[in-house]
Amino acid sequence: MMSEYEVTMPGDCMTEFNVKFNGPKESPYEGGIWRVRVELPQAYPYKSPSIGFDNKIYHPNVDEASGSVCLDVINQTWSPMFDLINIFEVFLPQLLLYPNPSDPLNGEAAALLLRDPERYKSTVKEYVKKYATEEALEAKSESDMSEDISSYSDISDGEEDEGVFP
């Protein structure tokens, strides 16, 4: 189903995975590459998946800190008739092409889009160059792995060579 996309599974769970997503053509996001987290709820396809960007994106309807997507079509009008391809070929491209500054998760981006659309576009392009390249994705992956490893605490009373993790 997702054969045209690079899909990775960070763990053993089949309901959580990442999809490499390219910015839509003829938009300020063109040329950008994002890793999008997808979490399928237990009631999928009757309940919508949770979608979030792993690397930073500047957009009124995406929370800059968490990457969470505010997408009414996914959250409120989801239908079991939709599938994951709809998210990556229709919903996310439309979100990036037609941001909704009247329902923002990123108030700064929404205000800038309304106040100065050209400056908004140049800020989007700066984010693309800084956070949405293959190199940025690799660095983010390495950083995430380092954080995961350092989050383990040694429960063996300081004896590091036992390799016991919680």
Which residues are known to be catalytic? 70
Q: Are 23 and 34 in contact (CB under 8 A)?
A: yes
Query: How far is CA 32 from its chain centroid?
Result: 12
Collapse the DSSP code of 8 into the 3-class scheme (helix H, G, I; strand E, B; otherwise coil) and give the result. strand
Question: Between β-strands 33-39 and 7-8, what pairing exists: parallel, antiparallel or unpaired?
Answer: unpaired
Phi-psi region of 139 (alpha: psi -120 to 50; beta: other; left: phi over 0): alpha
- For residue 78, CA distances in Å to 28, 39, 128, 149, 159 come to 27, 15, 29, 37, 51
Sheet of strand 33-39: strand arrangement: 7-8, 16-22, 33-39, 50-53
